[in-house]
């Protein structure tokens, strides 16, 4: 299934429709529907078989009682598919798995149970139970609900012709204490009283569920696309990857995910071998935000950024209950998708070219909730690296470290024997490592798991905040004075052959009720405390959690300390440019076309209101100087798609050119 390729311009057409509304689909016109999508250059649209209210939108052979009672055109889905196929628009079919109001209210015995005996309500942890608005009671796929779901999938294939694929929404690992799960856990020797064991069981059962359902779907259509949606793509999904044909990264920047989620999810997903798409929405905020419009500039950025991160584009919309497609929404979507269509030839089969990788602590556990989260240490590290223009992936234990020149172990990478050996072999083979704070400690957090870090662990630092004193090369751009390190570090001593790059001075005392000074932390006593940054061969170790500090507070000195460390380990990064930190650079390679494609994105998300980030203006950049270190000799450098040729020259083994104008997004092809 590794060769499944997604289309570039997709729409996810939500249709969760209350039974209290009548005239469903009465203004639907198949030709107008498909024609509007086509005009907006959409070439794949996910349409609805069943919604979170639990209603069907097709002429069900086996479950006519589940058809939406207000549905005027019983074959709504069939008409959508036929009209779209006529225009070569693909139509994967949406169904819901764990949220279904119709089913959960008729079959409470199928609902997941919390350990206190209440029903699991994913979006309302403080749920008022039965009297809560919303369809978020969560169904348990280990109960006989699974048989019902399979019968529904069979019904889709029997009732609807030409099903291209199935999108299964809301498929989460749930901490469930329902009778079926408890009996299952006891049978397999899991302790249901322990939350950790319940989650392990739930994860195992969820993998089994996906394999079961994918086999079942493939028995009807072996070529069907299959995706189980939990939005965040994380290392824990690797073990069940064969049940998927591709990844969809649901990540609406104004819908709770923010602008940092998508790139961090994509940087891992793109390393797994499956094709991926990014999912945003046309909504100003979130799904279900009817009659709202995202700023065009924000939609541009979100889609072009997907292209830069090797993903195809998907924009979420919701059809009005009367079924009439909105011309205005598709003018907005079309204005961006027409540009995407022009840019596509430089994105097909493009793979990222990365100097380095961040090892994610997610690899050591798993997210179980809806939406998923990116660990703070990874957010801090990736924000820094993006601001520096570095090219990187996010990796786990299964990744091949040797494809990268530098591996970053951010703040919390506790090492078992397997990981310690992997890191040692990587360094032996010539790789460089940056490790911070607890990264490198053994599972008991009593000592470093390997000698490669060049230090002994004495415990947590006795003082915090304390003060780093940058010196020499590691202190480039900083004064040789004290800089506060806000978060507690480790207390270390250096071993033989390790170079001390910067030391830490300690405060007069820690701030307590008995001794404190001024509003915030105690100032430095100017007395040496312990080592702060050390280097042993190609490993640089920082004793403070600089990455999570950066994610929380953004101190520029933390970034400069990492930047200088990277300059020492990687003197020739693939790309360098003179531009603001708001500029995002992504280097891709199209091997078959014999060209590199450099994406430069300059959009600035701002939080000007209480709740969301958005983008309203595009601020162009002029005359951006770029240099790149490529293994091939360039024949031509072109701004694409327009094809304008740029002058270039070589200096110290790096190709140099100037991009005259970056108006939001610029792509430069370096042909060799
Ligand atoms: Zn259960």
Distance CA 78, CA 163 (A): 9
Q: How far is the CA of 174 from the centre of ligand 1 (A)?
A: 8
Question: What are the residues whose beta carbons fall under 8 Å from the beta carbon of 453, sequence distance 6 or more?
Answer: 435, 440, 534, 536, 539, 541
212 has pLDDT over 90: yes
Range of lowest pLDDT (117-131, 197-211, 598-612, 615-629): 117-131
Q: How far is the CA of 146 from the centre of ligand 1 (A)?
A: 11
Strand partners, 10: 44, 314
Q: How far is the CA of 141 from the centre of ligand 1 (A)?
A: 7
Question: The CATH number of the domain where 622 resides is what?
Answer: 2.60.40.1180
3-state DSSP call for residue 341?
A: helix
Buried b (16+ CB within 10 A) or exposed e, 100-122: bbbbbeeeeebbbbbeeeebbbb
Q: How far is the CA of 135 from the centre of ligand 1 (A)?
A: 18
Range of lowest pLDDT (197-211, 358-372, 465-479): 358-372
Q: How far is the CA of 155 from the centre of ligand 1 (A)?
A: 25
Is residue 192 assigned to a domain? yes
Q: How far is the CA of 138 from the centre of ligand 1 (A)?
A: 10
pLDDT at residue number 104: 95
Give yes or no: residues 158 and 208 share one domain: yes
Question: The CATH number of the domain where 105 resides is what?
Answer: 3.20.20.80
Q: How far is the CA of 125 from the centre of ligand 1 (A)?
A: 17
Q: How far is the CA of 121 from the centre of ligand 1 (A)?
A: 13
Q: How far is the CA of 183 from the centre of ligand 1 (A)?
A: 9
Give yes or no: residues 583 and 467 share one domain: no
Distance CA 59, CA 150 (A): 17
The DSSP 8-state label assigned to residue 361 in this structure reads: G
Q: Select from 419, 267, 423 the least CA-distant residue to 354.
A: 267
Give yes or no: residues 312 and 364 share one domain: no
Instruction: Provide the pLDDT confidence category of residue 363 given band limits of 50, 70 and 90.
Output: confident
Give yes or no: residues 360 and 344 share one domain: no
Question: The CATH number of the domain where 395 resides is what?
Answer: 3.40.50.880
Q: Select from 367, 371, 57 the least CA-distant residue to 229.
A: 371
Q: How far is the CA of 664 from the centre of ligand 1 (A)?
A: 48
Is residue 553 assigned to a domain? yes
Q: How far is the CA of 184 from the centre of ligand 1 (A)?
A: 9
Q: Select from 668, 10, 636 the least CA-distant residue to 313.
A: 10
Instruction: Provide the pLDDT confidence category of residue 2 given band limits of 50, 70 and 90.
Output: very low
Q: How far is the CA of 153 from the centre of ligand 1 (A)?
A: 21
User: Look-up: residue for tokens 């058809």?
Assistant: 67
Q: How far is the CA of 490 from the centre of ligand 1 (A)?
A: 42
pLDDT tens, 100-147? 999 999 999 999 999 999 999 988 877 777 888 899 999 999 999 999
pLDDT at residue number 1: 43
Q: How far is the CA of 203 from the centre of ligand 1 (A)?
A: 12
Q: Select from 624, 627, 607, 625 the least CA-distant residue to 615.
A: 607
pLDDT at residue number 367: 59
Give yes or no: residues 609 and 550 share one domain: no
With vertex at residue 613, the alpha carbon angle to CA 336 and CA 556, rounded to the nearest 5 degrees, is 115
Q: How far is the CA of 584 from the centre of ligand 1 (A)?
A: 44
- Is 545 in contact with 486 (CB distance < 8 Å)? no
Give yes or no: residues 335 and 371 share one domain: no
299 has pLDDT over 80: yes
Give yes or no: residues 392 and 254 share one domain: no
Q: How far is the CA of 444 from the centre of ligand 1 (A)?
A: 33
Give yes or no: residues 281 and 409 share one domain: no
16 has pLDDT over 60: yes
Q: How far is the CA of 170 from the centre of ligand 1 (A)?
A: 15
- Is 79 in contact with 113 (CB distance < 8 Å)? no
Mind giving me the DSSP string for 512-551? -SSS--SSSSPPEEEEEEEEEEEEETTEEEESS-HHHHHH
Q: How far is the CA of 213 from the centre of ligand 1 (A)?
A: 17
Is residue 223 assigned to a domain? yes
Is residue 623 assigned to a domain? yes
pLDDT at residue number 48: 97
Q: How far is the CA of 612 from the centre of ligand 1 (A)?
A: 35
Strand partners, 47: 93
370 has pLDDT over 70: no
Is residue 3 assigned to a domain? no
Domain that holds residue 160: 9-351
Q: How far is the CA of 253 from the centre of ligand 1 (A)?
A: 32
Give yes or no: residues 364 and 494 share one domain: yes
Is residue 345 assigned to a domain? yes
- Is 310 in contact with 350 (CB distance < 8 Å)? yes
pLDDT at residue number 132: 84
Q: How far is the CA of 142 from the centre of ligand 1 (A)?
A: 6
Span 19-42, average pLDDT:
98
Packed helices 327-343 and 30-39: angle between N→C axes, nearest 10 degrees = 40
Burial class (CB in 10 A: 0-12, 13-18, 19+), 265: buried
Q: How far is the CA of 123 from the centre of ligand 1 (A)?
A: 18
Residue 197 structure tokens: 């064991």
What Rg, from alpha-carbon coordinates, does the chain have?
27
Q: How far is the CA of 148 from the centre of ligand 1 (A)?
A: 15
Q: How far is the CA of 385 from the centre of ligand 1 (A)?
A: 42
Q: How far is the CA of 252 from the centre of ligand 1 (A)?
A: 29
Residue 43 structure tokens: 């070439």
Give yes or no: residues 334 and 432 share one domain: no
Q: How far is the CA of 375 from the centre of ligand 1 (A)?
A: 28
> Of 307, 330, 351, which residue constitutes the final position of a domain?
351
Q: How far is the CA of 136 from the centre of ligand 1 (A)?
A: 15
Tally of CB atoms within 10 A around 128: 9
Residue 317 structure tokens: 């919309």
Is residue 338 assigned to a domain? yes
3-state DSSP call for residue 211?
A: helix
Q: How far is the CA of 147 from the centre of ligand 1 (A)?
A: 14
Backbone angles phi, psi at 102, to 5 degrees: -55, -50
> Of 332, 351, 370, which residue constitutes the final position of a domain?
351
Give yes or no: residues 274 and 149 share one domain: yes
> Of 320, 351, 382, which residue constitutes the final position of a domain?
351
Number of folded domains that form the chain: 3
pLDDT tens, 376-417? 999 999 999 999 999 999 999 999 999 999 999 999 999 999
Q: How far is the CA of 215 from the centre of ligand 1 (A)?
A: 22
Burial class (CB in 10 A: 0-12, 13-18, 19+), 331: middle
Residue 226 structure tokens: 């299959």
Packed helices 296-308 and 258-269: angle between N→C axes, nearest 10 degrees = 20
Q: How far is the CA of 180 from the centre of ligand 1 (A)?
A: 6
Span 216-228, average pLDDT:
97
Mind giving me the DSSP string for 550-583? HHHH--HHHHHHHHHHHHHH-SS-SEEEE--TT-
Is residue 442 assigned to a domain? yes
Span 311-340, average pLDDT:
98
Give yes or no: residues 332 and 285 share one domain: yes
Q: How far is the CA of 67 from the centre of ligand 1 (A)?
A: 27
pLDDT at residue number 599: 98
Q: How far is the CA of 239 from the centre of ligand 1 (A)?
A: 21
Q: Give me the sign of the Cα torsion angle 31, 36, 39, 44.
A: negative
- Is 377 in contact with 426 (CB distance < 8 Å)? no
């Amino acid at each position: 299934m590794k060769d499944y390729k997604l289309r570039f311009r997709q729409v996810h057409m939500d249709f969760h429709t209350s039974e209290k509304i009548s005239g469903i689909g009465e203004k639907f016109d198949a030709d107008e529907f498909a024609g509007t999508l086509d005009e907006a250059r959409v070439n794949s649209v996910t349409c609805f078989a069943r919604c979170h209210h639990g209603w069907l939108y097709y002429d069900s052979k086996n479950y006519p009682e589940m058809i939406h009672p207000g549905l005027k055109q019983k074959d709504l889905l069939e008409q959508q598919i036929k009209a779209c196929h006529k225009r070569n628009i693909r139509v994967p079919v949406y169904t819901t798995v764990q949220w279904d109001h119709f089913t959960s209210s008729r079959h409470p015995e199928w609902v997941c149970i919390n350990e206190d005996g209440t029903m699991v309500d994913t979006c309302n942890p403080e749920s008022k139970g039965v009297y809560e608005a919303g369809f978020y009671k969560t169904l348990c796929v280990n109960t006989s609900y699974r048989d019902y779901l399979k019968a529904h999938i069979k019904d889709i294939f029997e009732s609807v012709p030409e099903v291209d694929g199935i999108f299964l929404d809301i498929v989460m690992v749930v901490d469930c204490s329902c009778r079926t799960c408890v009996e299952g856990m006891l049978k397999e020797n899991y302790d249901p009283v322990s939350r950790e064991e319940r989650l392990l069981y739930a994860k195992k059962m969820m993998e089994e569920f996906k394999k079961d359902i994918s086999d079942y779907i493939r028995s009807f259509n072996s070529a069907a696309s299959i995706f189980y949606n939990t939005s965040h793509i994380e290392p824990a999904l690797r073990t069940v990857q064969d049940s998927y044909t591709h990844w969809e990264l649901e990540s609406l920047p104004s819908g709770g995910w923010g602008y940092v989620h998508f790139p961090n999810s994509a940087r891992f997903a793109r390393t797994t071998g499956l094709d991926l798409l990014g999912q945003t929405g046309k909504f100003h905020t979130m799904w279900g935000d009817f009659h709202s419009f995202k700023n065009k500039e924000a939609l541009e950025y979100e889609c072009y950024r997907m292209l830069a991160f090797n993903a195809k584009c998907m924009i979420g919309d919701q059809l009005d209950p009367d079924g009439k497609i909105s011309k205005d929404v598709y003018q907005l979507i079309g204005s961006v998708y027409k540009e995407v269509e022009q840019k596509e030839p430089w994105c097909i089969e493009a793979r990222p070219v990365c100097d380095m990788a961040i090892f994610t602590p997610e690899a050591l556990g798993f997210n179980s909730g809806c939406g998923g989260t990116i660990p703070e240490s990874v957010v801090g590290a990736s924000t820094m690296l993006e601001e520096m223009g570095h090219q990187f992936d996010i990796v786990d234990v299964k990744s091949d470290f040797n494809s990268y020149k530098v591996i970053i172990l951010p703040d919390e990478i506790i090492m078992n024997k397997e990981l310690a050996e992997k890191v040692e072999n990587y360094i032996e083979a010539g790789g460089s490592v940056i490790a911070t704070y607890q990264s490198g400690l053994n599972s008991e957090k009593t000592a470093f798991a390997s000698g490669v870090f060049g230090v002994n662990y004495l415990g947590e630092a006795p003082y915090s905040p304390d003060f780093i004193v940058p010196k020499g090369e590691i202190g480039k751009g900083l004064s040789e004075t004290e800089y506060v390190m806000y978060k507690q570090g480790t207390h270390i001593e250096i071993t033989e052959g390790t170079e001390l790059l910067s030391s830490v001075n300690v405060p007069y005392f820690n701030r307590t009720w008995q001794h404190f000074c001024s509003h915030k932390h105690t100032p430095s006593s100017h007395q040496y405390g312990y080592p702060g940054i050390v280097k042993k061969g190609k490993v640089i170790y920082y004793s403070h959690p600089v990455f999570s500090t950066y994610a929380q507070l953004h101190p520029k000195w933390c970034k400069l300390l990492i930047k200088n460390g990277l300059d020492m380990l990687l003197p020739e990064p693939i790309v360098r440019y003179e531009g603001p930190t708001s500029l995002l650079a992504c280097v891709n390679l199209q091997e078959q076309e014999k060209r590199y494609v450099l994406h430069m994105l300059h959009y600035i998300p701002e939080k000007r209101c209480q709740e969301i980030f958005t983008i309203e203006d595009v601020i162009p950049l002029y005359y951006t100087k770029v240099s790149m270190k490529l293994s091939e000799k360039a024949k031509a450098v072109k701004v694409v798609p327009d094809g304008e040729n740029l002058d270039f020259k070589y200096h110290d083994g790096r190709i140099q050119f100037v991009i005259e104008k970056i108006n939001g997004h610029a792509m430069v092809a370096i042909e060799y």
